[in-house]
Chain A
């Protein structure tokens, strides 16, 4: 009995210990007052790349730099950054570790790191504008730094710029296996009766859900309406009742005039997409001769590594938006954003590394060497194109691999890429987002 009592007391003591001090945390710093990191960022925004590099050398020589990101290529960019710093000071040395967490853990990792007075991670390269806005920026965990050269290239003033700093935009585009007879000439064709496009689930990659939420924004709902208007009568007759049935939902959700078109497309997409674990398997499937008439929405750059064989060919697929006369959205774009952490142990080095990646060709090369990733710095984007010739890389042999570039992809009437807007996504996350959550998902029968 005594032993049981002892065990109970021990357990309770631990439970109390665990819960002790769990009250709401109060920030000791008065609102509006700048933190040390804020001051450094403000100062850094007025500095040139070289000035920043000197500050970084001063700060991080002989130390270890920890970065965390959704892209593994930060690991390839860091050695080049160190080489660059060594070109200024030959004696400079820095160790580094780049982590790539899985399954959304990056947000929890950054949150727990932010609780320390000095964090482990100096900076991050992160995707999913919606969660960044609500979990990282609204909470003050991540800070935006705008490099001077990047602002100049984009004709902006750093301290007046309000968005996040994108390293690049990646595109996921509609493709289909063209060895059969099916035609996909309109974005509504992908949600037409009997079609089950391959797609990563909206729950496993949240940027996919952001894409769906973005469709309800007036601009993109308008694009969907315009594409709908170009459908033939049979297809219109199929979609019309669904659109009408969603008018009241669109009103309830406070959407614009074409909101019901967006909701109808979203509903049919969620009801019908065939979920896969990643874009890699989707690409492997679509380029195979046996995947006749199948379609998918996947990262464009996956096409780069396909090797020709008896069954597999890049020419087995078509990029929907590249077809003459294609109407509607060609896919969606999402960004990799760069941030300094609020308790960065090496803030100057973080700023210099961010400037290096966004303002120099060698800094962006780890991503730029492949098609389908577009630097947010127009000058760097041009340099990358001059070096790697992505627009003609496929030649006449593999036209699907001729990347038409960011401008083409995002223009109305051309690629019509739906671009992620973190603010909009976070605003509709629990209205449109929750509406999406209750939709049924496709299960093959």
Chain B
């Protein structure tokens, strides 16, 4: 009897067949390749740009050539007498800004999360929904509000802001311009991140450990520092991960509040020092890679991402006293009034003022000066005190941008949400595979890279003789999807890791198809997390500026239109756009909430 030789080809074919029979493998292979290209190609393009000679710029002057390649951009940026001004000072400012922003958002968002989830503070539902408003608003609009509130002739050499006009109080310059206000504005803007992430852990945290410490008569401060804080460390790290890169890549806030950062330098140097500006973008990207590396190290140390929580149902709430629970609630109502409600009131008022920023009716009590012209003027030929613009209701630029933005946000949310969810699913299934780990990281990397640098890279990549996608929705969708996949992939991965594989295996035994398993089992179980993976890209995309700034013209989408009006000082239009954005996001959030039961703050303090 002869034993047949094993057919190596058949074995190989079988292996391949088996490998491809697992949907998670196909997902990982496909998106691994696509995301490698979408992440690496822009980086390669921008690296190439740092060596390229650009006509009419410093590299042409220094090399005496109009084309070709040189390292002169590197030597000039790092060694010329402008190095301090163009590189080192902005770099230091950027690092301080990012660190301070992280600290403010974690302290403010974390404290609020603690109060909402772990104490018997009153008015939680209201506070929880109002707390996320600064994240809904474009970040620089808070900077403009800051200017309107605190600027004064005496300190900033401008007209008096509201506080100087009404109370004759003049805030010092460090409060009005530079690092502090920039970090405050960004910190308030990103505090909802900290609230959602840290709140999620507080909410699900096993209280047994704290109770055990209490029984052992451990002082409260010790419980906080030795038990509670270490448990929320993963959420704090996640917040740092998300906020650091975002703050670093923020262009408009430091721009409006007069702080020189790498982002503002990138824009200001781009005309004459084009190649050197690209090096600055690369430096910002390196920070993104470093943060990813740090995250990897911390992942290794705790073998998981943010879900270190047990699932105790015995969550005891700290009693902060009969008066305390009302007093703390009221304090937060006042604080959130100024961070969330007051800007909206100012936006609404601004659209009825006779001149941009002219609040004189408040001091004189003469309401006759208020006007509806910013809304109702239906032509731009006659001089109506409108700086050549039609009223908001008749302004084609605003409405064209609004519908374009809506389409863009829906497309980005659907594509990024779906891809992210699939990646999260596939990675959770193959969590020990290095390729899965690579796909997970390469999907997350663009989020850690500053938006302005990602935008610059995509502009360079898609503006050449073969393909020119500048000012097209296609380019914005590509950039948006690549940038926002992490929202969905992270929330999907975290939630998928919580699902026991037995559930799906049972369905596999029943010969249930993959699509059916997803639609009937996986998605319904983690509906809330998956929907937030769609909602966050949608909301972020609606008011994203730094990423899209370099990719389209001024009136193409709402955020660039809003920024244009803010820069021009036409605050009535920018305020109206802000109101439109806030209403749109709230309508969509409510709709999703009604239809699916999920919302951004669901599971923490919201419904």
Q: What residues of chain A have their CB less than 8 Å away from a CB belonging to chain B?
A: 3-4, 7, 10-11, 14-15, 18-19, 22, 24-25, 72-73, 76, 99-105, 107-109, 112-113, 115-116, 120, 131, 133-135, 138-139, 196, 198, 201, 203-204, 206, 274-288, 290-292, 294, 302, 304-312, 369-370, 426, 429-430, 433, 437-438, 443-445
Contact = CB atoms under 8 A, between A and B. Distances in A.
A437 B549 CA distance: 25
A113 B570 CA distance: 32
A4 B568 CA distance: 51
B554 A102 contact: yes
B268 A201 contact: yes
Given A291-B153, A294-B157, A305-B386, 13 more contacts: A3-B435, A7-B36, A14-B41, A76-B380, A103-B549, A105-B553, A115-B464, A134-B55, A198-B158, A285-B158, A294-B159, A305-B384, A370-B383
A291 B158 contact: yes
Given A280-B568, A309-B360, A290 B153 contact: yes
B272 interface: yes
Given A274-B157, A309-B369, A116 B357 contact: no
Contact of B388 (A101, A120, A288, A370): A370
Contact of B360 (A278, A284, A311, A437): A311
Contacts of A198: 157-158
Residue with the highest number of chain A CB atoms closer than 10 Å, among B36, B256, B464, B567: B567
A54 B357 CA distance: 49
B418 interface: no
B386 A369 contact: no
Interface string B531-564: 0000000000000000001100111000010001
Contacts of B468: 112-113, 115-116, 120
B356 A105 contact: no
B20 interface: no
Contacts of B255: 277
A251 B278 CA distance: 34
B55 A138 contact: yes
A310 B268 contact: no
Residue with the highest number of chain B CB atoms closer than 10 Å, among A4, A203, A370: A203
Nearest to B177: A444
B173 A445 contact: yes
A112 B272 CA distance: 17
B363 A18 contact: no
Contacts of A201: 268
Contacts of A115: 464-465, 468
Nearest to A15: B44
B354 A307 contact: yes
Nearest to B551: A105
Contacts of B268: 201, 203-204
A10 B40 CA distance: 10
Nearest to B178: A443
A309 B355 contact: yes
Interface in B73-128: 81-82, 85
Question: Top 10 nearest A-B pairs by Cβ distance?
Answer: A280-B569, A134-B56, A115-B465, A311-B360, A203-B268, A112-B463, A281-B569, A135-B56, A288-B159, A290-B160
A95 B155 CA distance: 51
A101 B363 contact: no
B56 A14 contact: no
Contact of B366 (A279, A284, A310, A438): A310
Contacts, number: 218
Given A280-B356, A312-B358, A312-B360, A105 B550 contact: yes
Interface in B407-428: none
Contacts of A426: 56
25 contacts: A19-B44, A24-B68, A25-B67, A72-B554, A73-B388, A102-B553, A102-B560, A120-B468, A134-B56, A135-B55, A139-B56, A203-B268, A280-B387, A283-B569, A286-B159, A288-B160, A291-B160, A294-B158, A309-B369, A312-B360, A370-B388, A438-B82, A443-B258, A444-B156, A444-B157
B271 A131 contact: yes
B267 interface: yes
Contacts of B160: 288, 290-291
A437 B33 contact: no
Interface string B240-267: 0000000000000001101000000001
B438 interface: yes
A115 B364 CA distance: 59
B470 interface: yes
A309 B352 CA distance: 13
Given A99-B553, A309-B355, A310-B360, A18 B41 contact: yes
A287 B459 contact: no
B355 A437 contact: no
Given A100-B553, A309-B355, A112 B464 contact: yes
Contacts of A104: 270-271
B491 interface: no
B48 interface: yes
B579 interface: no
Given A103-B549, A277-B567, A291-B153, A309 B40 contact: no
B213 interface: no
A75 to B, nearest CB: 9
A286 B157 CA distance: 10
B165 interface: yes
Contacts of A116: 465, 468
B66 interface: yes
A309 B354 contact: yes
Contacts of A15: 40, 44
Contact of A278 (B366, B371, B567): B567
A380 B451 CA distance: 46
B153 A294 contact: yes
Interface string B282-326: 000000000000000000000000000000000000000000000
Contacts of A101: 471, 553-554
A38 to B, nearest CB: 20
A306 B81 contact: no
A7 B159 contact: no
Interface in B132-158: 153, 155-158
Given A7-B438, A134-B56, A312-B358, A107 B271 contact: yes
B164 A278 contact: no
A288 B353 CA distance: 14
Contact of B361 (A287, A310, A370): A310
Contacts of B569: 277-284
A433 B272 CA distance: 10
Contact of B66 (A99, A112, A139, A444): A139
Contacts of B178: 443
B45 A288 contact: no
Interface string B438-454: 10000000000000000
Nearest to A24: B67
B594 interface: no
A312 B354 contact: yes
Contacts of A120: 468
Given A203-B269, A312-B360, A444-B155, A437 B82 contact: yes
Residue with the highest number of chain A CB atoms closer than 10 Å, among B272, B356, B361: B272
A4 B470 contact: no
B207 to A, nearest CB: 43
A14 B44 contact: yes
Contacts of B54: 135
Contact of B81 (A281, A310, A438): A438
A306 B385 CA distance: 6
Nearest to B358: A312
B381 interface: yes
A304 to B, nearest CB: 6
A14 B45 CA distance: 10
A277 B355 contact: no
A203 B272 CA distance: 9
Nearest to A444: B173
Contacts of A291: 153, 158-160
B413 to A, nearest CB: 25
